[in-house]
């Protein structure tokens, strides 16, 4: 061990476990790539103001959890705590919305940073795969995204997750609800910080996890009863499309997300095997965000799934992903001359697309065969001076244990045909 450790709230991905993370990222991305979403990558940091305006001045993310810094040049930057504001900023900057092809559908995969109290499933550096459909108001898009996330989780083998669905209304009806909720909350017996929250972001109070608060919230006005006709019709259409696609969801009137940009459809994917950090993914519609960051009106919808928590969910369900071994052929040279010959063979195998590796250093036969085993290669290629003198190599089938001599001349052809 070195003097240094990974910083608090972070962890490293190392083989063989890291393969799971790659597989999860790929499994989430696959249905997106298959549905017209193009890949986007944005910087790991942005101007602080993008997030304070976009995610919301009063959110925990902005007030408590951002890693901010001032550069030597005087720029105020923040490590990105989420992806939506960045992706929208980048789409606007590149004028993707003006190419006459709305919605702009984008997917991304990367690292995000939040200064949170670390615990299982909650880290300061974590990883998301996300998708955003920008510039179109259409319930079919909201439904599409929920269906694609469901498809990704199912492809991974996950079953014990639930989809919570809500509508947060729009700029017409939400203010009316907000007033009614504030009036109700002001009459309760709450601590000072919560009382302050009533004035800034009353919907967040509904999300309070404490039993003594939840007890008082019985009888609170429900947003459902305040939705305007347009929001109601929109939400009904999203629900109907999900039902037609046989994607089960639960209506959750109390679902409030931790970011302020949401309007209308909001949803969360929760996994029942994860304890308190049960949200494996979440998202919704954010029709006003573009204007909040200085762009034109661009109604949009998206989600992000947490890779770390998805891996924990797989573990909770006892699912082992079928990750094929990467090495197909492992070469074991016996002696200096054999090493030169096999090094050349391995190079040729790799150039013809066969995944091959070699025993490096000067290991004896036993240690080298152990390395071959560990690589999970399908075949081992063993070469000693005597075989080589006759133009031969020994090919060992690592599954059956059988070994046979093959011609050095045609080793690449032999192996490509055996592996196909």
- 308 contributes a contact to ligand HAM by CB under 6 A: yes
Q: Give the pair of three-digit tokens for residue 382.
A: 């063993």
Among 42, 52, 84, 109, binds ligand HAM (CB under 6 A): 84
Among 25, 79, 82, 395, binds ligand HAM (CB under 6 A): 82
Q: Which stretch binds ligand HAM (CB under 6 A): 17-25, 29-37, 79-87, 229-237?
A: 79-87
How many other C-beta atoms are found inside a 10 Å radius of the C-beta of residue 305?
Answer: 25
Q: What part of residues 211-270 is at the interface with ligand HAM (CB under 6 A)?
A: 258-259
Q: Which residue's CB is nearer to ligand HAM, number 261 or number 330?
A: 261
Q: How far is CA 339 from the centre of its chain?
A: 43
Closest approach of Cβ 348 to ligand HAM, in Å? 44
Q: How many of the chain's residues bind ligand HAM (CB under 6 A)? A: 26
- 54 contributes a contact to ligand HAM by CB under 6 A: no
Closest approach of Cβ 109 to ligand HAM, in Å? 12
Distances, alpha carbon 376 to alpha carbons 11, 328, 398, 400, in Å: 26, 8, 8, 13
Q: What part of residues 272-301 is at the interface with ligand HAM (CB under 6 A)?
A: 279-284, 286
Q: Which residue's CB is nearer to ligand HAM, number 169 or number 333?
A: 169
Closest approach of Cβ 385 to ligand HAM, in Å? 55
Mode of pairing for the β-strands spanning 379-383 and 263-271: unpaired
DSSP structure string for 383-411: E-HHHHHTTEEEEEETTT--EEEEEGGGH
Sequence-ordered strand ranges (E) for 59-200: 68-70, 76-79, 104-113, 125-134, 161-167
Give the number of C-alpha atoms closer than 13 A to the C-alpha of residue 106, restricted to the C-beta side. 26
Mode of pairing for the β-strands spanning 263-271 and 279-285: antiparallel
Q: What part of residues 109-168 is at the interface with ligand HAM (CB under 6 A)?
A: 114, 116, 122-123, 126, 128, 130, 132
Tell me if 58 sits within 8 A of 200, measured CB to CB. Answer: yes
Closest approach of Cβ 148 to ligand HAM, in Å? 13
Closest approach of Cβ 398 to ligand HAM, in Å? 38
Closest approach of Cβ 145 to ligand HAM, in Å? 9
Mapped onto helix, strand or coil, the DSSP state of residue 47 is: strand
How many other C-beta atoms are found inside a 10 Å radius of the C-beta of residue 266?
Answer: 24
Among 303, 334, 379, 393, binds ligand HAM (CB under 6 A): 303
Question: Where along the sequence are the contacts to ligand HAM (CB under 6 A)?
Answer: 82-84, 114, 116, 122-123, 126, 128, 130, 132, 258-259, 279-284, 286, 302-304, 306, 308-309
């Amino acid at each position: 061990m070195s003097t240094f450790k990974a910083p608090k709230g972070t962890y490293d991905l190392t083989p063989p476990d890291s393969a799971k993370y790659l597989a999860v990222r790929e499994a989430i991305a696959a249905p997106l790539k298959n549905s017209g979403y193009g890949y986007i990558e944005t910087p790991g940091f942005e101007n602080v103001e993008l997030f304070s305006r976009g995610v919301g001045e009063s959110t925990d993310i902005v007030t408590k959890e951002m890693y901010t810094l001032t550069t030597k040049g005087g720029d105020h930057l923040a490590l990105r705590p989420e992806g939506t504001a960045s992706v929208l900023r980048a789409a606007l900057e590149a004028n993707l919305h003006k190419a006459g092809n709305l919605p702009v559908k984008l997917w991304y995969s990367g690292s995000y940073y939040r200064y949170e109290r670390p615990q299982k499933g909650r880290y300061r550096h974590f990883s998301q795969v996300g998708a955003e459909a920008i510039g179109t108001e259409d319930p079919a898009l909201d439904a599409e995204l929920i269906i694609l996330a469901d498809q990704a989780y199912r492809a991974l083998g996950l079953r014990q997750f639930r989809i919570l669905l809500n509508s947060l209304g729009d700029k017409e009806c939400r203010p009316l609800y907000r007033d009614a909720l504030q009036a109700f909350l002001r009459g309760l017996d709450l601590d000072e910080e919560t009382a302050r929250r009533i004035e800034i972001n009353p919907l967040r109070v509904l999300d309070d996890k404490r039993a003594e608060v939840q007890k008082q919230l019985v009888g609170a006005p429900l947003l459902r009863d305040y939705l305007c006709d347009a929001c109601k019709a929109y939400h009904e259409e999203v629900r109907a499309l999900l039902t037609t696609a046989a994607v089960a969801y639960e209506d959750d009137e109390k679902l409030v997300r931790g970011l302020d940009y949401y309007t209308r459809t909001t949803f969360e994917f929760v996994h029942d095997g994860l304890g308190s950090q049960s949200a494996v993914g979440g998202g919704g519609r954010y029709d006003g965000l573009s204007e909040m960051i200085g762009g034109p009106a661009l109604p949009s919808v998206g989600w992000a799934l947490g890779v770390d928590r998805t891996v924990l969910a797989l573990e909770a369900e006892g699912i082992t992903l079928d990750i094929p071994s990467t090495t197909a052929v492992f070469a074991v040279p016996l002696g200096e001359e054999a090493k030169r010959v096999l090094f050349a063979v391995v190079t040729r195998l790799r150039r013809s697309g066969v995944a091959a590796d070699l025993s490096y250093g000067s290991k004896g036969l036993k240690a080298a065969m152990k390395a071959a085993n560990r690589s999970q290669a399908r075949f081992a290629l063993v070469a000693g001076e005597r075989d080589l003198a006759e133009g031969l190599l020994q090919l060992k089938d690592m599954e059956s244990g059988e070994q046979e001599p093959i011609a050095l001349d045609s080793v690449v052809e032999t192996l490509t045909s055996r592996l196909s």
